[in-house]
């Protein structure tokens, strides 16, 4: 999405905050703001409109040093997020399944690879809808189960499958 914004004529650079919900555009001197707003709205959809207070708050945050990322930086943040989520989810499931420390470590590595892969695919597609994330996680869950057959017993694999089937609902409560 940031790469698309960067390609709008008159945009010098675009940035997104760590939540992925607020965008800042730095424009070239003399750029046609109305044309840039129209083209940016096509990229951002409903997220394109900010009122004056939101705009002031975003600029103040930037001046205070809040994290505003450029295109390639967002994927690095997703890598870190996938690591944190893998530790949490994989650790919980490893405890439920009474895995050995080695199995736990391998399970977390599989989770991290799959989560980061899902984030990377979503980044590439630019589609950040809940339906896209849900579909990625459903397919990812099946890949996690398959990858873990290599080091888990049949009973542990079934426990993993069962845990993954219940995890989206549990995650909603967080």
Domain boundaries, the chain: 2-69, 71-172
Question: Can you give the pTM of this predicted structure?
Answer: 0.59
Q: Nearest-CA neighbor of 44 among 124, 130, 127?
A: 127
Looking at residue 148, its pLDDT comes to 97
142 forms beta bridges with: none
pLDDT tens per residue, range 63-104: 888 778 787 777 777 888 889 999 999 999 999 999 999 999
What are 72's two structure tokens?
């390639």
Looking at residue 76, its pLDDT comes to 76
CA distance 86 to 115: 7
Percentages (nearest 5) of helix, strand, coil residues in the chain: 70, 10, 20
For the range 96-103, what are the long-range contacts, defined as Cβ-Cβ under 8 Å and sequence gap of 24 or more?
Answer: 96/159, 96/163, 97/152, 97/156, 97/159, 97/160, 97/163, 99/152, 99/156, 102/151, 103/151, 103/152, 103/156
Confirm if 28 and 22 have CB atoms less than 8 A apart: no
Query: What SS3 state is found at 38?
Result: helix
Angle at 103 between CA 91 and CA 169, to 5 degrees: 35
Looking at residue 171, its pLDDT comes to 37
Looking at residue 172, its pLDDT comes to 37
Side-by-side strand order, sheet with 68-69? 23-27, 11-17, 68-69
pLDDT along the chain (174 residues), means of 10: 86 83 87 90 72 81 81 76 91 96 97 90 70 76 95 96 70 37
């Amino acid at each position: 999405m940031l790469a698309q914004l960067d390609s709008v004529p008159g945009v010098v650079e675009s940035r997104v905050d760590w939540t992925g919900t607020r965008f800042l555009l730095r424009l070239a001197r003399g750029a046609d703001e109305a044309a840039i707003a129209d083209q940016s709205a096509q990229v951002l959809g409903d997220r394109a409109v900010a009122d004056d207070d939101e705009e002031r708050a975003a600029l103040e945050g930037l001046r205070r040093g809040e994290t505003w990322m450029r295109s390639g930086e967002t994927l690095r943040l997703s890598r870190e997020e996938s690591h944190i989520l893998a530790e949490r989810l994989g650790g919980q499931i490893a405890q439920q399944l009474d895995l050995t420390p080695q199995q736990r470590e391998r399970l977390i590595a599989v989770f991290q690879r799959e989560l980061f892969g899902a984030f990377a695919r979503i980044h590439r597609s630019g589609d950040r809808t809940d339906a896209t994330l849900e579909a990625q996680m459903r397919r990812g869950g099946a890949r996690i189960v398959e990858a873990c057959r290599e080091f888990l017993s049949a009973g542990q694999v079934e426990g993993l499958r069962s845990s993954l089937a219940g995890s989206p609902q549990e995650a909603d409560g967080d």
